[in-house]
């Protein structure tokens, strides 16, 4: 099995691929596991920022977010 095939994790905040031997794991009270690639993503997640509004993430939406009323 190659090392590239073993890397199935993505950053919960920015969506970047995380190698098998890297990343920060956060476990919530309900048992869900959230992997982050860096302390930058971890801090932004803790501050409850929306990754769709930050240009450096892969989840960025150009043109704004449409909110249903």
**Domains of the chain, first to last:** 3-53 (2.30.170.20)
Global pTM?
A: 0.73
For the stretch 4-55, pLDDT in tens is 555 588 999 998 999 888 899 989 999 999 999 999 999 999 999 999 889 9
Distance CA(21)–CA(48), nearest Å, equals 26
């Amino acid at each position: 099995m190659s090392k590239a095939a073993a890397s199935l994790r993505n950053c919960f905040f920015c969506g970047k691929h995380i190698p098998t031997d890297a990343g920060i794991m956060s476990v919530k009270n309900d048992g869900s596991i959230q992997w982050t690639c860096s302390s930058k993503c971890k801090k932004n997640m803790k501050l409850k920022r929306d990754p769709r509004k930050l240009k450096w993430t892969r989840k960025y939406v150009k043109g704004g977010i449409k909110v249903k009323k």
